[in-house]
Structure 1
Amino acid sequence: MSTPLSPAPALRFGVNYTPRRGWFHAWHDFDPGRVREDLAQIAGLGLDHVRVFHLWPLLQPNRTLVRASAVDQLVRLVDLAAECGLDVLVDGVQGHLSSFDFYPEWTRSWHHRNVFTDPEAIEAQALLLRTLGRALSGHPHLIGLQLGNELNNLVAHNPVTVAEVDHYLDTLLAAARDGLGEGGGLVTHSAYDDAWYGDDHPFTPEASARKGDLTTVHPWVFSANCAGRYGPRSPQVHHLAEYGTELATAYATDPDRPVWVQETGAPEPHIPAADAPDFARATLLNAAGCDRLWGVTWWCSHDVDRALADFPELEYTLGLFDSTGRPKPIAEALSTTATEIRTTTAPPTPRTTALVLDCAPATRSVSGPGGAFFDTWTRLRQEGVRPAVVLAERAEDTAYLAARGITELIEGK
């Protein structure tokens, strides 16, 4: 008779909340009853947290004005989530959501200010984050405060250097911490995959992995055409979130720094609907094998209603629930797999073998889908190896390797 597996550490499983009625335009007509209904559906899947987004123009219509009523809406949503037993991460500067950019008018037209470099624009965002932090501080169901959703999506219209990004992030992280107070919750930031795979992108892997209280990754299967290149059922796709977690761990200076798979999903047609449940199950199970994993947060809770125009096609079908509120097969797959991991999966052991990554900032793409390093890592994974990732600059640091439990190094190709 086999010995039962011990429970895994308390991994977190949740979803990014998209209001079913009206998408994020619902903030214009905030309805607590509808929000409660959406959140109760999410809690019914056995998920434990949501990530939520207000809209920057509604929160801060003037550079020196943060609307108290809009902040109160956000606090009310956190309260409603708590009533459903859900913890909450709040994103502050939106910024960017589902292919749309949201700028307050004081950053546009002849008022234009570069949101990353203009000192007054940076201070305005710091004001917003301090205000949100103070309003939310002490809430027992608050996970923390994130600067905003994938702020690096805004670089096309706001040119910025690596040094300027570092200053921007440091300033806003300090403001968020000042608002929450010490012990008030996590302070984080997020970036889409160009930060990891994009040659010369001004948001760097080092910034993602070394600033804030933990590292967030958003391993989307359309990044670098991963699903198109390898196929929607491929090991490369099914292990992408696991790979992203290990890549992020390599860039951290703290070997114990947690990594949060904060966005991943099954976008059609990259992942056909019939394959979505298997993709969700494989993604969670493979990521759960990373010993630095904090948790996984799916994108997203509810489909975008097709009555709303001009979204990219894939945005309409990313939800766990359809636009009428019915759970989709992927919802059941996510729910049952999360329960299985929580209750029957053994805690992951450290990865003793690591693949050495040697890439200068201008050659980051080798570590992304289609790159030589990525292909070597996934080949090893298919052969039964559980490879970690180590930067070449740390390959001879015996204390660091020992702290991560690494005993064998393989040169990346």
Structure 2
Amino acid sequence: MHTLRFGVNYTPRHGWFHSWHDFDPARARADLDQMAGLGLDHVRVFHLWPLLQPNRTLVRNAAVDQLAHLVDLAGEAGLDVMVDGVQGHLSSFDFYPEWTRSWHHRNVFTDPEAIEAQATLLHTLGRALTGRPNLIGLQLGNELNNLVEHNPVTADEVDHYLDTLLAAARDGLGAGGGLVTHSAYDAAWYGDDHPFTPEASARKGDLTTVHPWVFSGDCARRYGPRSPQVRHLAEYGTELAKAYATDPARPVWVQETGAPEPHIPAADAPEFARATVQNAAECAGLWGVTWWCSHDVDRSLADFPELEYTLGLFDSSGHPKPIAEALAETIADLRRTPRPTPPRDTALILDCTPGTRSASGPGGAYFEAWMRMRTQGVRPAVVLAARAEDAQYLATRGIKQVVRPS
């Protein structure tokens, strides 16, 4: 039986990710000790692409060493680490090296030399990090599909990009060096004709990552912060991801979920965290849940969307918030008494095209049909229409009945 993993996405308390400009190991260790104190077992960490690779043919050894040092500090605190390579996008800001911009503009998804440079970076990071016992693996970057607005790309070009970078990361880590993955924000699942597809998320890399945010499709405002639609959103995202996988046993990682104000008022955040984790834990094949994020952004830093200032488990002074206590209690309870995850024997058929993918997102007809079943006590799986009559596939997933949305 797989032991569920519970962790947090690390946002440094002092200086946010700008702290990489003057990395302070003592401050990082203090942050990591706080996270470990909640009973978490891992962190996901992010360096900044312009600092790692300021020139297309230069990966800075000093920046790579900083990242490796952080991984080692996490290990000393008892935390495993997932490293994201190309940032890319973080909390409403995009970070591009200058060699991709202005007079040197290159489409980061389609320019062959830009792809080669990113592959070199990931291979270099893999070589530098491999062999560390607390390394979970290497991810291409954080929600790279946030960059498509300024880097037009087709689905086929995305597939080539992902395949190239995944191969480079895997080669850098070497056999048995850890997981190799990629991530995308919810447009990959819900966005009509979005070039990062559900198939790419569910079939490329070693497992599927999902980032079920309550502001996607205006979910929390549409249904209410205490609604079943909000509290079962991570569970739904996990089941949706499983439907697109060709391997029924492929794990799914709820890699980002959080309680952004005002979508989730502070008073509702502890119960939201409990319900989100408990409901997701009822999904067979769940790898784990990683909360966003560790620390609030300090309000001395300007120009963040309001919700970014309130997403932490700890406030910007380093004090644990009620949501941190609720999350720690929920995790401890699940570890003491692991819940069984029996197969979902009833599946709801999803029949959509790339151009009608929004039907499966908040506000969509399929999403609402699934949620109606869930509130009626059914634990529905999701099955694509193309597999709805595949008896062997259904049996492998434990599905005995398929129904169409009504």
Partner Cα distance (1:361, 1:268) in 2: 31
1:280 and 2:273 equivalent?
yes
**Percentage identity across paired residues of the two chains:** 81
- Residue by residue, what CA displacement relative to the aligned partner does 1:309-343 show, whole Å, maximum 9, x if unpaired? 00000000000000000000000001110111111
Aligned positions of 1:7-22 closer than 5 A? 9-22=2-15
1:271 and 2:264 equivalent?
yes
**Equivalent residues of 1:358, 1:412 under 8 A apart:** no
Partner Cα distance (2:250, 2:338) in 1: 22
- Residue by residue, what CA displacement relative to the aligned partner does 1:150-192 show, whole Å, maximum 9, x if unpaired? 0000000000000000000000000000000111000000000
1:149 corresponds to which residue? 142
Letter in 2 for 1:150: E
1:114 corresponds to which residue? 107
Partner Cα distance (1:101, 1:359) in 2: 32
State the 4+ residue runs in structure 1 displaced beyond 6 angstroms: none
Partner-residue secondary structure (3-state), 2:209 = strand
Partner Cα distance (2:385, 2:405) in 1: 9
1:382 corresponds to which residue? 375
Partner-residue secondary structure (3-state), 1:389 = strand
1:191 corresponds to which residue? 184
Alpha-carbon distance, 1:247 to partner: 0.1
Letter in 2 for 1:107: T
Aligned pair count reads: 406
Letter in 2 for 1:75: A
97, 101, 115: which is aligned to 1:104?
97
Partner Cα distance (2:390, 2:132) in 1: 41
- Residue by residue, what CA displacement relative to the aligned partner does 1:48-101 show, whole Å, maximum 9, x if unpaired? 000000000000000000000000000000000000000000000000000000
42, 45, 50: which is aligned to 1:49?
42
Aligned positions of 1:387-402 closer than 5 A? 387-402=380-395
Partner Cα distance (1:339, 1:411) in 2: 38
- Residue by residue, what CA displacement relative to the aligned partner does 1:338-387 show, whole Å, maximum 9, x if unpaired? 11111113221111110000000100000000000000000000000000
Aligned positions of 1:178-217 closer than 5 A? 178-217=171-210
**Equivalent residues of 1:36, 1:80 under 8 A apart:** yes
1:367 corresponds to which residue? 360
1:355 and 2:348 equivalent?
yes
Question: RCO (CA 8 Å, sep 6+): is it higher in 1 or 2?
Answer: 1
Any gaps of 5 or more consecutive residues in structure 1? Answer: 1-7
**Equivalent residues of 2:138, 2:169 under 8 A apart:** yes
Partner Cα distance (1:197, 1:91) in 2: 23
Partner-residue secondary structure (3-state), 2:323 = helix
Letter in 2 for 1:310: D
Alpha-carbon distance, 1:412 to partner: 2.4
Partner-residue secondary structure (3-state), 1:333 = helix
39, 58, 64: which is aligned to 1:71?
64
235, 259, 262: which is aligned to 2:255?
262
**Equivalent residues of 1:9, 1:347 under 8 A apart:** no
Letter in 1 for 2:261: E
**Equivalent residues of 1:94, 1:148 under 8 A apart:** yes
Alpha-carbon distance, 1:258 to partner: 0.2
1:163 corresponds to which residue? 156
Q: What TM-score comes out, normalization by structure 1 length? A: 0.98
Partner-residue secondary structure (3-state), 1:412 = coil
Partner Cα distance (2:386, 2:54) in 1: 46
Any gaps of 5 or more consecutive residues in structure 2? Answer: none
Partner-residue secondary structure (3-state), 2:150 = coil
**Equivalent residues of 2:281, 2:339 under 8 A apart:** no
Partner-residue secondary structure (3-state), 1:202 = coil
1:38 and 2:31 equivalent?
yes
Letter in 1 for 2:121: L
1:318 and 2:311 equivalent?
yes
**Equivalent residues of 2:258, 2:311 under 8 A apart:** yes
Letter in 2 for 1:278: E
328, 335, 345: which is aligned to 1:335?
328
Partner-residue secondary structure (3-state), 1:155 = helix
Q: What TM-score comes out, normalization by structure 2 length? A: 0.99
216, 221, 226: which is aligned to 2:219?
226
**Equivalent residues of 1:143, 1:186 under 8 A apart:** yes
Letter in 1 for 2:259: A
Letter in 1 for 2:394: L
Partner Cα distance (2:265, 2:120) in 1: 43
- Residue by residue, what CA displacement relative to the aligned partner does 1:209-255 show, whole Å, maximum 9, x if unpaired? 00000000000000000001000000000000000000000000000
